[in-house]
Amino acid sequence: MAGSPDPAGGRDAGGRGVDGRGASRVSAGRHSGPLPPGSTIGILGGGQLGRMTAVAAAELGYRCHIYDPTADGPASQVAASTVAAWDDGEALDRFANAVDVVTYEFENVPVETVERLLDRVPVRPGPMALSVAQSRVEEKSFARHCGLDTAAFWGVRSLDDLAQALTVVGMPSILKTNRFGYDGKGQVTIGMDTDLRHAWDELASDDGILERRIPFEREVSVIVARGVDGATVCFPVTENEHVDGILRRSLAPAPLDAEVADAARQAAVTLATELDVVGLLAVELFIEQGRILVNEIAPRPHNSGHWTQDGAAASQFEQLVRAVVGLPLAPADALFETEMINLIGADADAWRELAAEPGAKLHLYGKAETRPGRKMGHVNRRRKPFGV
């Protein structure tokens, strides 16, 4: 079937993450009531998303404990931390004993790490959402399983697979690594004049996916929070602009027809519900001639949601904290039309000017080393009260 993953690759629409095992264990670990202030949230990953989550948790009276293999990350500057490998069983057990609930700030945490922790402490979201989000083939297959549209795609594991996939997916298309790609890394554009062997060698992986390139009108995202009780709250749809695969600018709320915006939000709610997410799910979508196409999902805070810190009734980080500790979710209405600009590499050198700019809210991540393509911070500019 056009757009389906290659059956020979052994990756069906269910895949490792949708066998139901993760969902039942998460349910068994749920608390009967919210965790009281003073409880400790464990965060897997020590980057800027963990940092901003820890700050939001402190505002609600919760402590955070970071687990990350790398020392001196942005999150460890604002919370207690454990520095250990993802497969260090003794360190994971000590970490589990020190926290009351666990979440994660990026989706490349090994599923085995979450499985081990889940035997001792609730992990929200659970391993099912994490597993699906780690594979582009699985996330698109899962979206289709939920009745949602995606670009045509095909799982590829060899040069011969790639040639076969092109007969189904067509051109132009994009060859991507199936796992561990981010910010445009691990991607090769395929056109009529492309040398397929060179493209396959450039991918440098035997686990890939070929996706049809979509002539989209807009690239948008929706972040939905889902609580322990299954209640959901969606933030307004956000329009995003990428350069070289890296998010540069977000505008919220996105200037969309109400019907299209409603369809985007409903797609996010459907995915979060089917994945049994407790926490956040960010869903990236393409809009093509009024159609909504699911591109990627991330069961964590998302770069395109940073505008919520200064432009919404509650930030995405507050919603994550509320969800994982069992508090009621907050309203997520837009209070201001807000533009978020990422500070990439040397962009952050203008921090003095940005800090002095009227109406601009500067957020720096505390990273010591500036590198090209590295996200150093962001600035939110509130344009005007929303709806005025």
The domain spanning residue 128 has which CATH number?
3.40.50.20
pLDDT-based confidence at 379, cuts 50/70/90? Answer: very high
CATH of the domain at 270: 3.30.470.20
Residue 184: per-residue pLDDT:
58
> Do both 231 and 355 map to the same domain?
yes
Considering the domain architecture, whether residues 200 and 225 belong to the same structural domain is answered as no
Q: How many domains does the chain have?
A: 3
Note whether 237 and 250 are within 8 A (CB): no
Do 114 and 181 lie in one domain? The reply is no
pLDDT tens digits, 180-218: 866 556 789 999 999 999 999 999 999 999 999 999 999
187 with 242, same domain? no
Write out the residue range of the structural domain in which residue 236 sits.
Answer: 218-385
Same domain, 260 and 333: yes
Q: What is the pLDDT of residues 259-305, one digit of tens each?
A: 999 999 999 999 999 999 999 999 999 999 989 999 999 999 999 99
Does 32 score more than 80 pLDDT?
no
- Is there a single domain that holds both residue 73 and residue 117? yes
> 119 and 163: one domain?
no
Tell me the C-alpha distance between 181 and 296, whole Å.
11
Give a yes or no: residue 11 inside a domain: no
Residues 161 and 113 placed together within one structural domain of the fold? no
Q: Is residue 6 part of a domain?
A: no
Does a structural domain hold residue 57? yes
Q: Residue 239 falls within a domain, yes or no? A: yes
Better pLDDT: 359 or 56: 56
pLDDT at 248 over 50: yes
Same structural domain for residues 282 and 337? yes
20 has pLDDT over 90: no
**Residue 193 falls within a domain, yes or no?**
yes
Verify that 197 and 318 share a domain, yes or no: no
Higher-scoring residue by pLDDT: 244, 256: 256
Pair 181, 303 in one domain = no
**Domain end marker among 133, 161, 177:** 133
Query: Is 8 among the domain residues?
Result: no
Answer with the one of 212, 227, 242 that is the final residue of a domain.
Answer: 212
> Where a domain ends, among 166, 185, 212?
212
**Domain assignment of residue 146, yes or no:** no
Question: Secondary structure of the chain in the HEC alphabet?
Answer: CCCCCCHHHCCCCCCHHHCCHHHHHHHHCCCCCCCCCCCEEEEECCCHHHHHHHHHHHHCCCEEEEEECCCCCCHHHCCEEEECCCCCHHHHHHHHHHCCEEEECCCCCCHHHHHHHHCCCCECCCHHHHHHHCCHHHHHHHHHHCCCEECCEEEECCHHHHHHHHHHHCCCEEEEECCCCCCCCCEEEECCCCCHHHHHHHHCCCCEEEEECCCCCEEEEEEEEECCCCCEEECCCEEEEEECCEEEEEEECCCCCHHHHHHHHHHHHHHHHHCCCCEEEEEEEEEECCEEEEEEEECCCCHHHCCHHHHECCCHHHHHHHHHHCCCCCCCCECEEEEEEEEEHHHHHHHHHHHHCCCEEEEECCCCCCCCCCEEEEEEEEEEECCC
- pLDDT the model gives residue 388: 58
Residue 10 binned pLDDT confidence (cut-offs 50, 70, 90):
very low
| pLDDT for residue 120 | 97
Instruction: Say if residue 156 is in the same domain as residue 233.
Output: no
Asked whether residue 294 is assigned to any structural domain, the reply reads yes
